Structure 1
């Protein structure tokens, strides 16, 4: 006599195929209806079931999250909170999508500044014309035992690019950066022969990871924090971050 699993295995395979076909059909329906009714959301990166039964997650532009029903008749813009576990599921999903592999960052395109032993690591995307960046830099002076990888990220205009070029092309990049950000010492013009293609690479890198503002901090565990957080918060985040 054949074991029961011998007969169940084909049945389970058929059930799995039916479930897959149903999910694909639902995804196709959602994509079609959303694209027809909301052309601005026609380029959908991914459709997947959400944690809430009957709800589907729509992802666009890399990390923008929306929710809809199986027919794409309703669109929900907002956050899903798990009240039992007190977790923001939407926030967790976005954090996962926007996580940056620290070890994959092109550190040769950054200005490296070591403070103290430099045992902790932090990457920061900054624009020299960003007022919040200047405030952040003043607070950052209180943080020790850290290696900073500063990615010049000139996104605020032509003058930002010009200042970034002058800083990158300076003999002492770290000094030129600190002189400008902390002491308002004007940035010297870059030499005509200086190769500043790094700035274009940094902008492309930031766009790839959907970095839309400065400063943006990236920690060794891939987590990122936008905005000018104070020294106490930086210390807390450095302590929490694990590769």
Structure 2
């Protein structure tokens, strides 16, 4: 494989993004027509784009990527790695595809907590029954100057919605969430007509392809899955400067 520096990799990804915005070539359209039926009923190929490496064509299904040859005779599942630099080209591409426009997030349906000056901002998808979320919530106690928007994403069990509604309908929902996630203190049972935006949050998570909790989204649109530690979180914030 031809050696690619980080600069040429960035350029290649830029070219891919540009080509995605343009009409697909007859060759790419032909490949799409051949590949789509082979991926299973109901699977929609969003685009086929020729890559700048190894003569491969990228087949994109949402934010997932696979590859094929120019005649669509073979499908390649897995990551393309630059053997010279050990750069995972597929991961770079899928990270780009999974980016979120932070300003478009409906923060009005998220819980909000602020520590210090709050200048560092993240959004998190969390489930009240998620042990990793609880671990990460404790990690956040060691991070200064942070604003956290929490989307209560009830996907783990039926009981998740019950717990979340009780928290959402509390007098201080932000405190009630922390009480539960940090100390295991359950909120009192919700009464009356209080409703939480569960359907809107589920739709948002589906749209953004959030498949697990916690999922952390940064202001540059990138995301990190799982309960990362303070060191990884601080490194990510440093990279945003």
Name the TM tier (shorter chain): 0.7 to 0.9
Deviation of the 1:37 alpha carbon = 3.7
1:193 paired to 2:197: no
- Counterpart position of 1:184: 184
Q: TM-score, normalised by structure 1?
A: 0.84
SS of 1:66's partner is strand
- Counterpart position of 1:129: 129
The structure having more radius of gyration, on CA atoms, is 1
Q: Identify if the C-alpha distance between structure 1 residues 152 and 159 changes in structure 2 by more than 3 Å, giving closer, same or farther.
A: same
1:229 paired to 2:232: no
Deviation of the 1:107 alpha carbon = 1.0
Q: Identify if the C-alpha distance between structure 1 residues 223 and 25 changes in structure 2 by more than 3 Å, giving closer, same or farther.
A: same
SS of 2:216's partner is strand
1:95 paired to 2:120: no
SS of 1:44's partner is coil
Measure the CA separation in 1 of the matches of 2:191 and 2:77: 49
- Counterpart position of 1:14: none
- Size of the aligned set, in residue pairs, is 220
Deviation of the 1:139 alpha carbon = 1.2
Unaligned 5+ runs, structure 1: 1-19
RMSD of aligned alpha carbons: 1.9
- Counterpart position of 1:240: 239
Alignment of 1:52-67 (within 5 A): 52-60=53-61, 62-67=62-67
Deviation of the 1:38 alpha carbon = 3.8
Query: What do residues 115-138 of structure 1 show as CA deviations (whole Å, max 9, x unaligned)?
Result: 111111111110000011011111
Deviation of the 1:95 alpha carbon = 0.9
Measure the CA separation in 1 of the matches of 2:137 and 2:144: 13
SS of 1:82's partner is coil
Mapped contact 2:29–2:48 kept (Cα < 8 A):
no
Deviation of the 1:40 alpha carbon = 4.7
Query: What do residues 145-197 of structure 1 show as CA deviations (whole Å, max 9, x unaligned)?
Result: 1111111111112111111111111111111111111111123222231121x
Q: TM-score, normalised by structure 2?
A: 0.85
Alignment of 1:193-212 (within 5 A): 193-196=193-196, 198-212=197-211
Unaligned 5+ runs, structure 2: 1-21
- Counterpart position of 1:151: 151
Mapped contact 2:139–2:229 kept (Cα < 8 A):
yes
**Dislocated runs of 4+, deviation >6 Å:** none
Mapped contact 1:34–1:41 kept (Cα < 8 A):
no
Measure the CA separation in 2 of the matches of 1:134 and 1:124: 12
Measure the CA separation in 1 of the matches of 2:151 and 2:204: 10
- Counterpart position of 1:28: 29
- Counterpart position of 2:106: 106
